[in-house]
A and B are shown apart, each in its own frame.
Chain A
Amino acid sequence: MLEAKNLSKTYSSDGLDYVALKQVDLMVNRGDCIAIVGKSGSGKSTLMHLLACLDTPSSGEVIVEGSDTSKLSERSKNGLRNEKFGFVFQQFFLNGRDTVFENVVLPMRIRGVSGPQLAAEAGEAIAAVGLTDKAMKKAKDLSGGEKQRVCIARALVGKPQVIFADEPTGNLDSATGASVEDMLFKLNRENGITLVIVTHDEDLAGKCGRVVEMKDGYIVSEKVKEAAAV
């Protein structure tokens, strides 16, 4: 599904180079639930951004379904993110003045879907996170857990193959965090959506099938849990 080959990323500022990612190789298979862990500055977010085609590598390749993304145009990468990927961020990035519905349908609108199809797919995604009765509420009036569920619905609405979650429970208390986690794992188990979770929460990482630990831009260890997918 996703593959990083000899991936490096160097940031330059004021003439100083900072190597955030050093020759990383990683294979993400369809249906995987993979946690990327590490301290801040370890390169875990950079790796996720590169895998999600949000950023371009300094060297190496990101291969999505067998094709090298460095050869794709900006437009194709936009299309790829829009149709195959979903995103959940720690900070939600919801538009508080808009309704839950409007927030959820954003990827569909970007894709150019409208009318009954838009309403149907949005309804499905909102139902999947249990917010049907709040679909017409303003996003700012929701609790933190509900907000993150809206984000999951937004990530889910386009029927993506991969959901990238960057510290999805970072802003939530442990009880609501747990319910958000359950929701993500359920999508992985039942819908076969590949999950790539960036976190420094060890409990969350422990529930994932694979845990990739990063340090100083390198992958230092990878643990595979035998019965994760059950």
Chain B
Amino acid sequence: MNKWLWWGTVLPALLLGLAGYSEQWHLGLSVTGMNDQVVWGLYISQFVFLVGVAASAVILVVPVWWWGNPSARGLLRLAESLALAAVVTSLLFVMVDLGHPVRLWHALPVIGQLNFPQAIIVWDLLVLVGYMVLTMALLAGWKHPMGILLAAILGVAIHTMTAFLLAGHPARPFWHTGVMAPRFIASAFAAGAGLMLLLVRYWPVTSVEWGRLYLRRIFLGCLGIDLFLLGSEWFVWFYRHTSEGEAARLLYGGGMGFWSGWVWIGIGLKVLAMVMVWRYVTGYGLGVVGIWMEKGLGLIIPGFVPTPLGEVVSYWPTWVEWQVTVGVWALGIVLLTLLIQYAVHAKNISDVAVDSKTCSIGLNAFFENAQPIKNDDDLIS
């Protein structure tokens, strides 16, 4: 893509976001569409989606660590760059959501006060910050198999904690389900695989055929699991009409108007993407957008409607809210571009500290298109 065109798109988006945030800073969160009924909205839905993208690096980190496949290593840096950009952007979305951002230091250890281990937000922030630091270290070239194992564990942990952040509230029956975390992981891996397959066109490594096939399988398999888990939720919500299932019945039954349509379009896009990828090996973008719609506002709003006191209200993100959201996304895209350029220029695309002789358990044959290891110099121990 033309460099000037690219900056010409991103810079105005950044300025737009800055203008929106400055308005929010002065007038408070009243400039957003959020209210006492729907206390989280567009910002937190972006946070949830992006933590998923960040977590998806696991799908490459694990095979590289476990099977030591050299052609998977070619994509590892891409996954790590995407993960770091996504985790930073997700944290920015939490920050713009705060009513009193100057008091952020209250959430620092020692000088602040952390409600640990009670508050799930604290768990989530701890693993997110840990994951961010770790991804930075890995991108900077820290070579230790332990680091990669840790990245795999923390990758799953960040999205599990984000799910618990929503699922831990009996007051919010739409979220109060143990299926939340597995569903999050499944849709996150699908979204991550889809995004990586879109980004791979801009990735300078050519021998990524194995990676492409592998990511395609992850995309299809994880979307399938995601839809199966959604079906399981539907059964519980619809088999008996309990008051706990009220939000789901409103959402999927059309009672939430625009947002009912929104969530059905999201689900439709996911199904369409699965069919297209399965038949024609394209359509990843549709799947990613579908996940963004369903796991974003399609998940957050029904948590609040009806309210614990039975009020059915609506939520519309305001222009300022969209401005800030576009701005934060633009910042994330700038960061991703810089990280990818850094990763390319540092010429460390394939230098992963994994010795396939010790790590591989001979499952390479599992992926029929895996490239054979040409010589030992390929592997840095």
Q: Do A and B come from one complex?
A: no
> Which residues of B does A touch, CB under 8 Å?
none
